Chains A and B, each alone.
Chain A
Amino acid sequence: MTPESVSHLQRVLERAARILRIGALVNGALAGLILVLGIIGALRIFPDMFATLHRLLLFNTPGADDATVTGAMLLALLNLSLLLVLGVGALARETWTLAALFALALANLGALIGLGYTLAPLTIAFALYTLYVILRDRIARGAFRPNPVMIKELRGRMRGVRAFVVLTVYLSLMGGFAMLLYLIYSTAGRDPGSAAAGEIGRVLFNGVFAVELLLIIFIAPAFTAGSITGERERQTYDLLRTTLLSNASFVIGKLESALGYVMLLLLAGIPLQAFAFLFGGVSETELLLSLTILVITAITLGTIGIYFSAGNERTLNASVRAYSTTLILLFVVPSVISLILAVLNGFLFGVSGLFPYAPLEAVFVYLSHFLTSINPLAAAVTTQNLLVTQQIAGFYPFTLSVDGTTIPLASPWINFSILYTAAASILLTLTIRAVRNLDERELPHTV
C-alpha cells in the first residue's frame, strides 16, 4: 500500500465507524424515550400508554403490554451495544465485523418479522449502509484481516508446555472439586434419575459454575490489565505506534487473545458441568444460560481490565484499579444497596407500611432487581431459582404488595446480559479514547 492509500483507508474506516456510532446513539436515544414513556405510562397519566406502545413497537408479540414495552427498550439497548462494538471492530479491520454486521441486520429483520419490532429497520439501515461503505471501496474491502496482535499473543501464550500444563492443572483441580462435591453429597440409595440423584446433579452443576465464575472474576481482569501497560513497560509500545496498527486493532487484538484463553478454559470445563446431566435435575436451558452468563462476565471484566490498562502507566496500578472496580461493582455496591433497600422496603411498603404508594414500590422493586443483575452470581442464582421453581426464563409479572397490581420483570440473566454488554461496549470505546489521550499527554523523553 502506498502512503496515500493508507490515508484513504483510514478515512473510509473512520466513516464506517462514525455511521455505526450514530446508529448506536439513535438506538440509545430511542431506549431513553421508551423509558420516559414507560414511566409516564406507569404513573397512569395516560391510561392506554402501554397498549399503544405495545402496538407501536412490538405489534406481533403476544404478552402483557408493559412487559413487551420493557422488551422493546432492552432490544434497543442491545442494538446500541452491538453497534458500538461493531464500530470499534470496523476501525480495527476485524474480519468478523463484516459477518457480524450482516448477522445483526438479519437478526433485526427476524425481530421485525417475528416480533413486529418496528425499530429494527433503523439498525438494519445503519448496518447495511456501513457494509456498503466498506465493501464498495476496493482498498477497504481488502483491508479486513486476522488481527496481528491477537496472532502474536496467542503464539506466545500457547507456546511450549506452559499452556498445556495450565489447562491440565485447571481441569484436574476442577475435576477434584467436582469429585469432592459428589462424595460429600452421595449416599447409598440415590439411584440415577431419582429426585435425590437430581439433587447431586444440581450441586455438581452449581459448584462447577461457581468455581468457574470466581475464576473468571479473578483471571479476566488480570489477563487484560497488563496488556497495554506491559507493552509500555517493555518499550515495545513505541514500535507499534510507528506501524500502521491502529489503536482499535491494538486494543481489540489484546482483548481477543486474553478472552480467547479464558474461553478455552470455559469450554474445557463444559464436560464437567455436563456431568450433572448423568444425575438429572439440570436442564439444557440452565447449561446454556450459565454459559451465557460466564462468557458475558468474562468479556466485560476483561474490558474493565483493558480500560485501566490503557489509562495507566504501570501494570501494578492498572491491576489494582481494575480489581477494586470489579470487586466494588460486583460485591460492595449490590450488597450494601440491596441491604438498604430491603430495610426500606419492609419499612415503607410492608403489611403496615408507612407509605403505601404503588409507583414508589415499583421503583424499589426495579432498583433491587437491577442490583441483582449487576452481580453475575446473584443473577445466576435468581435465574436458576426462577427456572426451577416457576419454569420462567423470560419476562414475568411481579405483584406489588401495596395494591396488588403487577409490574413486568425480566429474568435477571436478560438484564445482566444487556447491562454487561452495554458496559463492555462503552468501555471498549472509552479504552480506545484513553489510549489516544495517553499518547497525547506524553512525558518528556530524556535521551
Chain B
Amino acid sequence: MYRRQVRRRRAVLLLLVAVSLTLFSLFFREGSSGGPLHGVQSVVATIFSPFEEVTGRALKPARDMINWFDETFDARGENERLRGQVGELRDELAQRQTELAQRKELGKLDALTGGGVVPSGQEPVTARVIGRSPTVWYATVTIDKGSSAGLAVDDPIVTGDGLAGRVSAVTRGTSQVTLITDPDSSVAARVFPGGSTEIPADAPTGVVEAAVGDPKDLQLNFVQRGPDINEGDTVVTAGFSVGNLASLFPPGIPIGEITDSSLEEQQAYQRVHLRAYADLRDMEFVQALVDAGKGDGG
C-alpha cells in the first residue's frame, strides 16, 4: 500500500517535471513567431485580463498606502542626498560667479587704465581689496599692495568704473586707501555734458567732496558756471597743475554722474550733487597709479 503510494507520488512528480520541461522546450522552440503554446497563453491572458484589472483596482488603495511608506522612506534618503548635491552646486556656483565678477572687474580696470587715463610717467598696479572700514561710511579700505609694489602715499586709486580714492597710508605689503566718500577727501573736478566725448575748454569746475551724513552722495562744491550743469552730466578729475602745486589725480578719470543740479542750490551754495561711478561698497580689485619704474606691474 505504502509502496504504491510512493510509486504514485514519484510518477506524478516525474510527470509534472517532464511536462514542465516539455512545455518550456516547445515554447522556446516556437520563438517569437508564435505557435500553439503562444496561442494558449494568449487566450488565457485574455480571459484573465478583466479579473486582473478588477483585482488591481480593488487593491489599489491598499497598494498605494503600502507604497507610500516605501516612497516616503526613499524620499527621505533622496532628500538628504539632493540637499548635499544642492550644497555642493551652490558652492560651485558661488565660486564661478565670484570668478566671473572678478574677471569682469579686472577687464573694466584694464579698459579704463588702457584708455589713456594713465598719464605718462605713471603705471597701474593692480591690487585686491582685503579689508574694509567697518563703519557705514565706507571711508577707507585696505589693499594688498604696499611700498614693495611701488605704492606711495597720495597715489590715486581707481576701479573699473572710475575714481575710488587715494593711498593714505602705506606699509610694505598693504596700503590704506581713503575713499572719495571720506569727509577729508576732496578732488578737483570738471563737468562735461552727458553724451559729449570731449571736455569743452570752458567746462564748469569744482571740488568733489563727501556729503555729510550720506555715504552714497557726493557734492561738487565751489561750482563755477553752474547753470550749465544738468542731471546726467559726467564729472571727471580736473588734474590741474599750477607751478609746484599739482592735483594728486591725473585728469580725465571718471568720478561720477550729476544726480541733482537744482538752480536754487547752485545759486545759494554753488553746489550740485553727484553719484560716484565706482561701487565703493563692493570693490574687489583696484588699481593704484604709481610712478613709473616703482611699480611691479601688479
* A and B are interacting partners: no
